[in-house]
Amino acid sequence: MKRIVEWLPALAVFFLVVGLWEGLVRALHVQQFLLPKPSTIVSVFWTQRHTLWPAGWYTFKEALGGFAIGSGLGILAATVVSRFRTLGTALMPIFIAANAVPIIAFAPIFGAWFNPISPRSKMAVAGVLCFLPVMVNSLRGLNSAKPRQIELMRSYAASELEIWRRVRVPTALPFVFTALKVASVLAMIGAIVGEYFGGALNALGVLINSSAQVFQFPLAWAGILVASLLGIALYGAVAGTERLVIRWAPDTRDA
Amino acid sequence: MSVVEIKGVTKTFAQGNVTALESIELELQPGEFVSLIGPSGCGKSTLLRVIGDLTPPTHGTVTVNGKPAHRARKDGDYGIVFQDSVLFDWRTVAKNIALPLEMLGWDRERRKTRVDEMLDLVELRSFADHHPWQLSGGMQQRVSIARALSFEPALLLMDEPFGALDEMTRERLNLELLSIWEKLGSTVVFVTHSISEAVFLSTRVVVMSPRPGRIAGVVEIDLPTPRTAETRYTPRFFELVTKVRELLRSRGEHLLPEEEELLEADR
């Protein structure tokens, strides 16, 4: 019960903003290509559902694939680097520099490397976007066990593997999940922006892009709505998993 | 056979060329409660860590239960309690206490029995399924002590275990620790910089002086047992506190101003 009450203010603000949007667009006669009414977007969202949802699903799969590959490799790389210190010292500056590179600029290149029509090029964009934050955060997590905790384990004659399993991994989990949440958002961005540079006709990014080009703005907005819902769903799935895995932490309970 | 035998232990840190310990000789008999006391930088924590094989001595040998310290660590001969409780957030109180038992390969049933015993010992039975962050600092430290004692180590190493607690909690935990120690008969090495705490708890107080870390003197504590809250008001307690303080003072010229303050605050 308490949960619903907690959500009320956010819901109120949401409906207020949508209502205001609807009212202002009507009152000021804003042209549709600038900003369609929410009611128009929702009605297009419904009438075009047989186009929109398959397109959304297609793009979602690309995002999910990129998310899985990028995050998986990120966690793997962090594990290897945390195990071999010297490797870490050699690679970390490069990773941190790479983290500052606007990866999305490479989207056309990935199109050339892989078939631009195939979902693989979008997965590559999404994957590369996910990799670095997950890698950097997981590594930080794996290295943030307190020295005293390690010493305590040593006093029990624990092997490195046991210390890793019983201390380093649980310590890293909150860091990893924070990164995965960020990555889930990046994956959707990567997949959609990747599709803006070309992709299968039934992909969401292509649909949004082409509708906008032919002035079907309500359809473009409906596409954005689908993308948003899917993005929230992916984020929610990761956050839900986090709650299942990390039951102990006081701060994730209310977050 | 002595539980701990320290022979000619010297420890220098390459960084800054600091001599943390110089020619330390010390022997602990079974069931002794020995406090190491001294101002910061006297090497008392380093000595504890050397005994526990958490850091190797530069020279000299440490023998625990007749074995080299390294062997003793591998055999799980000692339990350790740090200043902060070092509990694992992802484990409940009961699971934190069970951790060393898991490492020793005890089966579930045996673990449960022992954990329940330990929870009773530190009076935290009703908090078994709580997570550490739900506990007060004093309770966390009791969990930490229960964990260190759970596998009945021959030697209990405590590095300023009550240093971060308020005075009231500290005195209560002192009493609790003593009653546990009397019940279990373990040998304890206890690092502190509170003179009254050292005198109250110990059978022997080892006074250390800084730069380089040396043993300045050893005070036998002949207070009657069991010790109670009233022990702190007896004349003998004051005499012993004064004796320890004088030993610390005799090296006073080495003290930094903030260390002076620390000693004063303890009065």
Model pLDDT for residues A50-74, shown as the tens digit of each residue: 889 999 999 999 999 999 999 999 9
Confidence band, pLDDT 50/70/90 cuts, at residue A14: very high
Q: Using CA of residue A190, residue A195, residue A199, residue A201, what is the dihedral sign?
A: positive
CB contact under 8 A, B88 and A154: no
Report chain B residues whose CB lies below 8 A from the CB of A146: 86
**How far apart, in Å, are the Cα atoms of A93 and each of A75, A99, A170, B149?**
18, 10, 26, 44
Residue A85 above 80 pLDDT? no
Model-level pTM? 0.80
Is residue B69 within 8 A of residue B9, CB to CB? The reply is no
Please check whether residue B90 touches A, CB under 8 A: yes
Rounded to an integer, the average pLDDT of B192-219 is 89
Q: CA–CA separation, A161 vs A157, rounded Å?
A: 12
Report chain B residues whose CB lies below 8 A from the CB of A242: none
Q: Can you give the pLDDT at residue A1? A: 52
- The C-alpha of B54 sits at a distance from chain A's nearest C-alpha, in angstroms, of 7
Q: Which position has the higher pLDDT, A177 or B262?
A: A177
Residue B191 above 80 pLDDT? yes
> 3-class SS at A29?
coil
Confidence band, pLDDT 50/70/90 cuts, at residue B79: confident
Tell me the average pLDDT of chain A.
Answer: 88
Residue A255 above 60 pLDDT? no
**Residue from the list A148, A155, A173 with its beta carbon closest to the beta carbon of B52:** A155
Please check whether residue B91 touches A, CB under 8 A: yes
Return the amino acid letter for A84.
F
At A204-247, the pLDDT tens digits run 888 898 888 888 888 999 999 999 999 999 999 999 999 998 88
Q: CA–CA separation, B150 vs B193, rounded Å?
A: 26
> 3-class SS at B34?
strand
Tell me the average pLDDT of chain B.
Answer: 86
CB burial of residue B249 (10 Å; 0-12, 13-18, 19+) = middle
Residues 6+ apart with CB under 8 A from A181: A235, A238, A239, A242
- The C-alpha of A141 sits at a distance from chain B's nearest C-alpha, in angstroms, of 14
Is residue A66 within 8 A of residue A127, CB to CB? The reply is yes
Rounded to an integer, the average pLDDT of A81-109 is 82
Residues 6+ apart with CB under 8 A from A124: A66, A110, A113, A114, A194
Q: Can you give the pLDDT at residue B267? A: 40
CB count in 10 Å sphere of residue B234: 14
Nearest in space to A143 (alpha carbons), one of A120, A96, A175, A115: A175
Confidence band, pLDDT 50/70/90 cuts, at residue B252: low
Report chain A residues whose CB lies below 8 A from the CB of B88: 149, 166-167, 170
Cα-trace Rg, chain B: 18
Confidence band, pLDDT 50/70/90 cuts, at residue A253: very low
Q: Can you give the pLDDT at residue A19? A: 93
At B98-113, the pLDDT tens digits run 999 998 889 999 999 9
Q: Can you give the pLDDT at residue B254? A: 53
* B135 φ, ψ (degrees, to nearest 5): -105, 155
For residue A173, the surrounding DSSP H or E stretch is helix A169-196
CB count in 10 Å sphere of residue B68: 13
Give Dmax (Cα) for chain A: 75
- The C-alpha of B131 sits at a distance from chain A's nearest C-alpha, in angstroms, of 7
In DSSP terms, B217 is beta-bridged to B207
Nearest in space to B97 (alpha carbons), one of B149, B53, B60, B161: B149
ipTM of the complex: 0.80
Residue A86 above 90 pLDDT? no
At B29-77, the pLDDT tens digits run 999 999 999 888 788 888 999 998 988 898 899 998 888 888 888 888 8
